[in-house]
């Protein structure tokens, strides 16, 4: 169960009319609210994931932006960043950059492992993704007799390059629903197939996500409160938000939040800059900035109440001031540090909002995913931004296309 604690639970947060109007204005973009879009291909997703796990040692997930961030976020949050060391079918990501070194690194895995590829692009036209696909396919052709059998395409546009490749070569095809935008698509085939291959319990993930969705049928829900609090803090001069976790495995989840809010809200001069910190690691770097920097910051801290593992640590061994604590729970220590840090940051007028998760697993990651998507939708409305488009992203594409003509 996700619990949100904001700045003032009695402050008015009446967004009913605004949201009701937006449900009409943006009706063509609201497919992420519809469970049907998750369930339609679920059986096929599970079958394909099982087939991939039974037959391949490595799967390359090739996608950019919303076409990979969510999957990577949930896989790493539930299984850790180093899970590939022990996984039977390893999962790597590509198709989100133009680095020859980065691409070479992944291509070298094709030489080592029996590999397949999931290519994800709603438009089917993203250059980073298409280059990744092209280079891996070229390597597959050198190595395997039936290269196309090793490829699954997930696309939404039946005119894009990837769809045409599917039409010409008959690879497996899953679809991105027309009314679901990239950064809101982690609970469709886009996220679910890579997650299932990485052994994420996708039924639990969807259960958490849709249990939380039910909460949003109530006008007074945690996502709307969070959106109202962000807006209120912004109006007080808090123009930067740090999403803070205390688990390194959450880093990609936090990057997903940055993408979600950055791409949705970042359409005017007056918006919140979304950033993140993984503590306690970043207390040794950006912690300084929060403690004594400009103070135009608020933080949203994710705490987890229960972990399946703990360690007994001897603090007394380090310093006399810890004398009474020769047996101390590491999880309890982390909790104390989290509370103490919030209080310390308060001295620089840094306000802390809080998200408390009971556990860190597929279910709670699903809950929190919907919490943020709903919050981002509503918050974008409060910042007068179209929550679902990204016209600014097109600008750099136009610029480089111009140079290539």
**Residue ranges binding ligand PA5 (CB under 6 A):** 64-67, 121-123, 126, 129, 181-183, 263, 390
Sheet (strand 297-304) strand order: 3-5, 351-357, 297-304, 240-245, 273-278
Catalytic pick among 27, 169, 178, 397? 397
The residue (of 157 and 211) whose beta carbon lies closer to ligand PA5 is 157
* Catalytic annotation present for 267: no
DSSP states of 278-292: ETTGGGGTHHHHHHH
By the 8 A CB rule, do 157 and 165 touch?
Answer: no
* Catalytic annotation present for 36: no
Cα–Cα distance, 378 to 76 (Å, whole number): 27
Radius of gyration of the chain (CA): 22
CB of 312 to ligand PA5, least distance (A): 44
The residue (of 22 and 64) whose beta carbon lies closer to ligand PA5 is 64
The residue (of 69 and 351) whose beta carbon lies closer to ligand PA5 is 69
Cα–Cα distance, 122 to 158 (Å, whole number): 10
The residue (of 96 and 338) whose beta carbon lies closer to ligand PA5 is 96
CB of 122 to ligand PA5, least distance (A): 4
CA distance readout (Å), 116 to 113, 232, 331 = 9, 48, 39
By the 8 A CB rule, do 395 and 266 touch?
Answer: no
Residue nearest to ligand PA5 (CB): 182
CB of 347 to ligand PA5, least distance (A): 37
Catalytic pick among 284, 343, 399, 402? 284
The residue (of 122 and 345) whose beta carbon lies closer to ligand PA5 is 122
CB of 390 to ligand PA5, least distance (A): 6
Catalytic pick among 172, 241, 251, 263? 263
Cα–Cα distance, 17 to 10 (Å, whole number): 19
The residue (of 6 and 66) whose beta carbon lies closer to ligand PA5 is 66
* Catalytic annotation present for 263: yes
By the 8 A CB rule, do 261 and 376 touch?
Answer: yes
- Among 154, 158, 147, 140, which residue's Cα sits nearest to residue 195? 154
Q: How do strand 58-62 and strand 351-357 relate by DSSP bridges?
A: unpaired
- Among 257, 278, 277, 275, which residue's Cα sits nearest to residue 66? 257
CB of 396 to ligand PA5, least distance (A): 11
The residue (of 120 and 368) whose beta carbon lies closer to ligand PA5 is 120
CB of 131 to ligand PA5, least distance (A): 12
CB of 97 to ligand PA5, least distance (A): 13
Q: Running DSSP on this structure, what letter comes out for residue 246?
A: S
Kindly tell me the sign of the dihedral angle through the C-alpha atoms of 118, 122, 128, 130.
positive
Q: Beta-carbon neighbour count of residue 326 at 10 Å?
A: 12
Residues marked as catalytic: 263, 284, 397
């Amino acid at each position: 169960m996700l619990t949100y604690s904001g700045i003032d639970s009695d402050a008015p947060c009446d967004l009913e009319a605004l949201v009701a109007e937006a449900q009409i204005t943006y009706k063509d973009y609201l497919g992420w609210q519809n469970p049907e879009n998750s369930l339609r291909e679920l059986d096929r997703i599970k079958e394909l994931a099982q087939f991939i796990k039974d037959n391949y040692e490595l799967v390359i997930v090739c996608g950019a932006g919303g076409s990979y961030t969510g999957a990577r976020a949930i896989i790493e949050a539930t299984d850790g960043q180093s899970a590939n060391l022990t996984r039977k079918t390893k999962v790597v990501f590509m198709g989100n950059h133009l680095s020859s070194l980065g691409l070479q690194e992944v291509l070298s895995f094709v030489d080592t492992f029996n590999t397949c590829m999931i290519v994800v692009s709603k438009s089917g036209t993203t250059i980073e993704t298409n280059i990744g696909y092209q280079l891996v396919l070229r390597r597959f052709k050198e190595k395997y007799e039936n290269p196309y059998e090793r490829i699954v395409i997930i696309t939404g546009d039946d005119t894009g390059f990837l769809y045409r490749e599917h039409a010409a070569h008959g690879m497996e095809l899953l679809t991105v629903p027309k009314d679901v935008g990239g950064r809101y698509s982690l609970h469709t085939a886009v996220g679910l197939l890579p997650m299932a291959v990485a052994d994420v319990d996708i039924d639990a993930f969807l259960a958490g996500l849709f249990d939380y969705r039910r909460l949003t049928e109530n006008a007074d829900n945690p996502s709307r409160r969070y959106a109202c609090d962000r807006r209120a803090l912004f109006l007080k001069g808090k123009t930067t938000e740090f999403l803070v976790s205390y688990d390194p495995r959450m880093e990609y989840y936090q990057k997903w939040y940055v993408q979600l809010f950055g791409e949705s809200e970042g359409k005017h001069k007056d918006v919140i800059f979304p950033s993140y910190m993984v503590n306690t690691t970043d207390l040794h770097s950006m912690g300084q900035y929060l403690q004594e920097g400009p103070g135009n910051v608020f933080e949203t801290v994710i705490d987890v109440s229960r972990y399946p593992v703990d360690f007994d640590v001897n603090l007394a061994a380090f310093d006399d001031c810890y004398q009474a604590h020769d047996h101390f729970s590491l999880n309890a220590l982390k909790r104390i540090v989290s509370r103490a840090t919030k209080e310390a940051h308060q001295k620089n007028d840094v306000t802390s909002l809080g998200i408390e998760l009971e556990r860190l697993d597929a279910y709670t990651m699903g809950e929190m995913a919907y919490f943020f998507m709903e919050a981002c939708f509503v918050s974008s409305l409060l910042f007068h931004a179209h929550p679902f488009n990204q016209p600014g992203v097109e600008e750099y594409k136009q610029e480089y296309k111009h140079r290539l003509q």
